[in-house]
Amino acid sequence: MASKLPPLNALRVFEAAARQLSFTRAADELFVTQAAVSHQIKALEEFIGIKLFMRKNRSLFLTEEGQSYYLDIKDVFNLIKESTEKLLARGEKGAITVSVQASFAIQWLVPRLKAFSLLHPDIDVRIKAVDQPDNLLTEDIDIAIYYGHGSWGDVNAVKLHQEYLIPVCSPLIFSSGKPLKRIEDLANHTLLHYKSREDWKRWFKKVGLKGIDVNNGPIFSHSAMVVQAAIHGQGVALAHSAFAKPDIDSGRLICPFNEILVSKNSHYIVCREHQLELGKISAFRDWVLSTVAQEQEEDLYDND
């Protein structure tokens, strides 16, 4: 007999089939077909040159050699399982580094971070704010928030929000003496821009209004700056709905018009595929996704 190890996949199939005493149940457990189980068992029996199973009265039994072999290897599989669980448990503690755009960190993540710390006091969260994520998980980054179309083939990416832009301003703007009852009234107000003037151009095109000069008003490099400028009554901004919500709820901002602009991009929570179930990464990822889902559910309830 060859001195090398038997095919490990076949060994895994044998352990399941021997424990279940059923190729069908083993196939269900391993998410493969019954034919695949039979093929792996045959390959293992050919490798070691010993019959491991026999059938009698339509029932599956282990041969004497098969029973002895199963009793030996099941402890090995249990040891592997326990070692993996210990490793994952160890991964539930320690530091986790999160790469995120500064605006998302300031407007969404940081205000909610205490809730995560209360749930997972053993995980030390380290926020690495970046101006423009390069969409690469470097060795020093465990998990990240990307902004874009979601087409990053080398990572696991899940969309957080269906994002849209909404016009917002401070209630203070109504004390300026300039009316803001109709969309046409925006011609008399300063427009606040994020990175470029394209969003306002798209918004006016969507509402079908021409003749408004969007080539006025300051341009900010961070969406948090745009929101702050609007809060201080410096003009009307197109803000991300998720970012503006706390200020709208508090009354610091209002929506003068209901017309929205669906954003071309969204925020995604991103991690490496092989680390998806690692304790601390899984804990942070699940918390972000559940927080987003809960807030979206509350929004639906509030709008009923």
Q: What tokens does 53 get?
A: 């199973």
What token pair was written down for 52? 């491991």
**What would the two tokens of residue 132 be?**
């423009």
What is the rounded average pLDDT of the residues 110-124?
Answer: 92
Banded pLDDT at 89 (limits 50, 70, 90)? low
Given a contact cutoff of 8 angstroms between Cβ atoms, the answer to whether 252 and 272 are in contact is: no
Here the tokens at position 29 are: 């457990």
Q: Please tell me the predicted confidence (pLDDT) of residue 299.
A: 61
Q: 169 with 230, same domain?
A: yes
Give CA separation, 273 vs 137, 142, 143, 157, 282, in Å.
11, 11, 11, 9, 11
Distance of CA 15 to the CA centre of its chain: 35
280 and 236 within one domain: no
Q: What proportion of the chain, given as a percentage, has pLDDT over 70?
A: 92
Average pLDDT over residues 268-272: 92
Start-to-end Cα distance in the chain? 72
- Is the pLDDT reported for residue 92 higher than 60? no
Q: Is the pLDDT of residue 239 over 50?
A: yes
3-state secondary structure of 261: strand
- Residues 251 and 168 occupy one common structural domain: yes
Neighbours of 84 (CB within 10 A): 11
pLDDT band at 140 (very low <50, low <70, confident <90, very high): confident
3-class secondary structure, 116: helix
Q: Calculate what percentage of the chain has a pLDDT beyond 90.
A: 49
Mean pLDDT (the chain) is 87
Residue whose C-alpha is closest to residue 221's, from 198, 195, 197: 195
In CATH, what number is assigned to the domain containing residue 148? 3.40.190.10
| φ/ψ (deg, to 5) at 61 | -130, 155
| Contact (Cβ atoms closer than 8 angstroms) between residue 192 and residue 234 | yes
Asked if 227 contacts 102 with a C-beta cutoff of 8 angstroms, the reply is: no
Task: Specify if 1 maps to a domain.
Answer: no
In this prediction, residues 261-268 reach a mean pLDDT of: 86
Q: Among 196, 188, 244, which residue's Cα sits nearest to residue 220?
A: 196
Q: Are residues 111 and 45 in the same domain?
A: no
Q: Are residues 236 and 151 in the same domain?
A: no
| Mean pLDDT of the region 126-153 | 80
Count of domains observed in the chain: 3
List the beta strands (DSSP E) in 198-260: 219-220, 236-240
The model's confidence at residue 301, banded by pLDDT at 50, 70 and 90, is: very low
Backbone angles phi, psi at 253, to 5 degrees: -125, 150
Show the domain range for 281: 94-162+265-303
The domain that holds 36 is classified in CATH as: 1.10.10.10
Q: Which two tokens stand for residue 1?
A: 């007999």
